[in-house]
Amino acid sequence: MRALTWHGRHDVRVDTVPDPEIVNPRDAIIEVTSTAICGSDLHLYDGVIPGMLSGDILGHEFMGRVVEVGPKSTLKKGQRVVVPFTISCGSCFFCKNTLYSACDNTNPAEKQDMTEALYGHSVSSLFGYSHLTGGYPGGQAEYVRVPFSDVGPIVIPEGMEDDDVLFLSDILPTGWQGAENADIKAGDTVAVWGCGPVGLFAVQSALAMGAGRVIAIDEFPNRLALAKSKGAEVIDFKRTNVLEALTEMSGGMGPDAVIDAVGMESHGFAPDTVMDNIKQNIGIGADSAHALREAIMCVRKGGTVSIPGVYGGMLDKFPLGALMEKGVQVRSGQTHVQRYLPELLRRIGDGELDTQYMISHRLPLEQAAKGYENFRYNQNDWTKVVLKPGTQAN
């Protein structure tokens, strides 16, 4: 089959690789019909996530048709499914408590050593996202082996388009959980850093959860316009001092909740960003966190910081003093995708959540490398890229 493989920093290619097979009893094989490039794939593209090997197949947002099932899978051939990016067993302590991204049993035992050394405990596996989280081949491919297929995939009713439901695999539940973690009370003011797909879904989710105002922060006019179209007020951080603006826009108090939908490759020319980037370049620091630092400075006293953005390692110059002195609570985590799927599928079906509007480009799988390059370097125009393995280049 054809698949998008990683070969190093800024080097991804569509290669021919062996087709996957059923390996374990609960597996299924999915023929991919749509798969997206995620903002967090850019962290792999930029080489800032450790534990990548040359030849790894990327992609963790995908859906398709079931073409083969193992004896213990509950799926049936021919069903259309969206597959969560988190791989979860459904039977460990964490899965039983709906903490699916903390699953104990899906990260192969020999892969857990590295994760334990880095994080203290190992976490669930993810598709196509480095050997720290299992080294499972990802979904930017014609076929994917889906382990524990009786727990993850959600069956999609015929009649709903791929592009309506594809984002159930990651970014929609991630934005939703980001808003849920912000502990929003009716009428709250919520600030969201980053108007990429997760930030946009966080805006929509926060409003759906009763936020009075949502203020979205980015620098790209097209992305800010998308946030505005979904009901947010916007701040261009290249134009405006964010701390002062947010304080003024919230009656001098600061937002009740702040959401960092940016993650470890924050940009914006600030001294801490430069230092973080130097450390990323020489390999002694994984994370650049200007947005998170700013969010902690901006949140009101006793407020909530929610971090759906991805971080991988260590961070310094962290405003722990502001966190402690202002009595702020922090909530974070990879998304427990399975927890949210039925509810979010219903909301899409009922027209409560618009999902297609952020897709700027649809490309054949063969042009995936072009998709990565533009999503990385032309962020204003390329807001979300969906790859279609079944289609031909124009």
Partner 1 sequence: MSRYHLPQHRNAASRNSGLFWLAGGLGALIGIAALTAYQVRGRNRVEYRPPDDAPIRTSRRQEGRRTATGRTVTIDRPRSELYAFWRDFSNLPQVMENVRSIDVNGGLTRWTIAGPAGQDVTLVTALAEEREGERIAWASTQGSDMEHRGCVTFRDAPAGRGTEVTLDLEYVAPGGELGRWVAKALQAEPHLQARRDLKRLKMLLETGEIATNANRRSAA
**Nearest approach, Cβ of 90 to partner 1 (angstroms)?**
8
Cα separation, 54 vs 195, in Å, equals 31
Query: Please, what is the minimum distance in Å from the beta carbon of residue 386 to partner 1?
Result: 24
The nearest distance, CB 131 to partner 1, in angstroms, is 8
Q: In terms of CB distance, is 129 or 193 closer to partner 1?
A: 129
Least separation in angstroms between residue 56's CB and partner 1 is 10
Ramachandran quadrant class, 139 (left: phi over 0; alpha: psi -120 to 50; beta: rest): alpha
Q: Mutual orientation of helices 197-208 and 221-229 as an angle, nearest 10°?
A: 20
Q: How many CB atoms lie within 10 A of CB 49?
A: 21
Backbone dihedral region of 134: left (phi > 0), alpha (psi from -120 to 50 degrees) or beta? left
| Interacting residues toward partner 1 by CB under 8 A | 18, 20-26, 72, 89-93, 96, 104-113, 125, 134-137, 145, 147-148
Residue 185, CA distances (Å) to 165, 206, 249, 304 in order: 28, 10, 18, 11
Least Cβ distance, residue 319 to partner 1 (angstroms): 25
Cβ nearer to partner 1, comparing 64 with 309: 64
Q: How far is the CB of 51 from partner 1 (least distance, A)?
A: 12
Would you say 22 or 171 has its CB closer to partner 1? 22
If the CB atoms of residues 146 and 191 are measured against partner 1, the closer one turns out to be: 146
> CB-wise, 89 or 227, nearer to partner 1?
89
Query: What is the closest distance, in whole angstroms, from the C-beta atom of residue 358 to partner 1 in the complex?
Result: 31
Residue with Cβ nearer partner 1 (104 or 287): 104
User: In angstroms, what is the minimal distance from the CB of 334 to partner 1?
Assistant: 17
- Closer residue to partner 1 (CB): 136 or 237: 136
- What SS3 string covers the chain? CEEEEEEECCEEEEEECCCCCCCCCCCEEEEEEEEEECHHHHHHHCCCCCCCCCCEECCCEEEEEEEEECCCCCCCCCCEEEECCEECCCCCHHHHCCCHHHCCCCCCHHHHHHHHHHHCCCCCEEECCCHHHCCECCCCECEEEECCCCCCCEECCCCCCHHHHHHHHCHHHHHHHHHHHCCCCCCCEEEEECCCHHHHHHHHHHHHCCCCEEEEEECCHHHHHHHHHCCCEEEECCCCCHHHHHHHHCCCCCCCEEEECCCCECCCCCHHHHHHHHHHHCCCCCCECHHHHHHHHHCCCCCEEEECCCCCCCCCCCCHHHHHHCCCEEEECCCCHHHHHHHHHHHHHCCCCCCHHHCCEEEEHHHHHHHHHHHHHCCCCCCCEEEECCCCCC
CB of 275 to partner 1, least distance (A): 21
13 vs 121 by CB, closer to partner 1: 121
Q: Which is nearer to partner 1, 117 or 253 (CB)?
A: 117
Q: Least distance from C-beta 173 to partner 1, angstroms? A: 22
User: Is the Cβ of residue 94 or residue 193 nearer to partner 1 in the bound state?
Assistant: 94
